[in-house]
Amino acid sequence: MQHNPIGIFDSGVGGTSIWKEITQLLPHENTIYLADSKYAPYGKRSKAEILELSVKNTETLLDFGCKIIVAACNTATTNAIKELRSRYDVPFIGIEPAIKPAAIHTKTKKVGVLATKGTLSSELFAKTSDLYARNIEVIEVIGAGLVELIENDKIDSPEMQSLLSSYMNPLIKKNIDYLVLGCSHYPYLIPILKKMLSDRVTIIDSGEAVAKQTKAILERTALINTNTKLGTHSLYTNENVVILEKILKSSASSYAVNKLDF
């Protein structure tokens, strides 16, 4: 079982930001990544649909023999992880907006959270927000349209620039000093966001924390791969192979990208 792959899924290409963190921290692990781009964005879908898609992705990863599953999608985690954990024996790692560190460190007591509608309206997000951000103002912004642009290879486009500035301007006026990225697609927007926000705003995403949690759970369950060879990585998309390849180009790992119907 140790040598079996880590399974990672997202609604599309965005979760590769988490895959990169995992392969960097755990270079000897084998991985399988599923980009469910055909059904993206999840953020506009109902909880029942998000669960159904998450089950489909989980079963595909289990067919590959995955020993642990990472839902590299905030929308899937906040809407479906509880049900997934109760249905399957395999351990699940999820990703949620990192409100806690932002709430601890903010000086202006104003924190922005950019996420999908599905994440911001979930019970799990409300709970986390209540728990950690009681004494600060959390300004929630739905990043409508951002995932669609990323999925269509339009990160560096005028449309992205104007959409992002329409979301950031109100946050700048509110004097936030932390911006929490609550969607695994958004780390790919950090270079643009940095130009828009002054140095006074710190941008946080959850990628590193998810990789550390994956490692901790693999160690605790004795599933960590003790191989000394570098791991192998297969990434699958049910949509456009070229877009997935393009977003991976800055990765240090070597990998294979293929089309798969799932």
Residues of this chain that interact with ligand DGL (CB under 6 A) are 10-12, 14-15, 40-43, 73-75, 116, 119, 147, 183-185
Cα Dmax for the chain: 52
Question: At closest approach, how far in Å is the CB of 180 from ligand DGL?
Answer: 12
Respond yes or no: is residue 66 known to be catalytic.
Answer: no
Question: At closest approach, how far in Å is the CB of 239 from ligand DGL?
Answer: 12
Q: In this complex, which beta carbon is closest to ligand DGL, that of residue 12 or of residue 225?
A: 12
Distance, CA of 100 to CA of 223 (rounded, Å): 29
Q: In this complex, which beta carbon is closest to ligand DGL, that of residue 67 or of residue 185?
A: 185
Burial of 153 (0-12, 13-18, 19+ CB in 10 A): middle
b/e code 161-176 from CB counts within 10 Å (16+ = b):
eebbeebbeebbeeeb
Residues 6+ away with beta carbon under 8 Å from 161? 192
Q: In this complex, which beta carbon is closest to ligand DGL, that of residue 124 or of residue 223?
A: 124
Q: Of residues 73, 102, 149, 244, which has the active-site annotation? A: 73
Q: In this complex, which beta carbon is closest to ligand DGL, that of residue 114 or of residue 176?
A: 114
Distance, CA of 200 to CA of 46 (rounded, Å): 36
Q: In this complex, which beta carbon is closest to ligand DGL, that of residue 146 or of residue 224?
A: 146
Over the Cα atoms of the chain, what is R_g? 18
Distance, CA of 61 to CA of 166 (rounded, Å): 38
Distance, CA of 13 to CA of 253 (rounded, Å): 16
Question: At closest approach, how far in Å is the CB of 254 from ligand DGL?
Answer: 24
Q: Of residues 183, 189, 203, 204, which has the active-site annotation? A: 183
Question: At closest approach, how far in Å is the CB of 208 from ligand DGL?
Answer: 15
Distance, CA of 208 to CA of 44 (rounded, Å): 26
Distance, CA of 232 to CA of 55 (rounded, Å): 25
Question: At closest approach, how far in Å is the CB of 158 from ligand DGL?
Answer: 22
3-class DSSP assignment, residue 119 = helix
Q: List the catalytic residues.
A: 73, 183
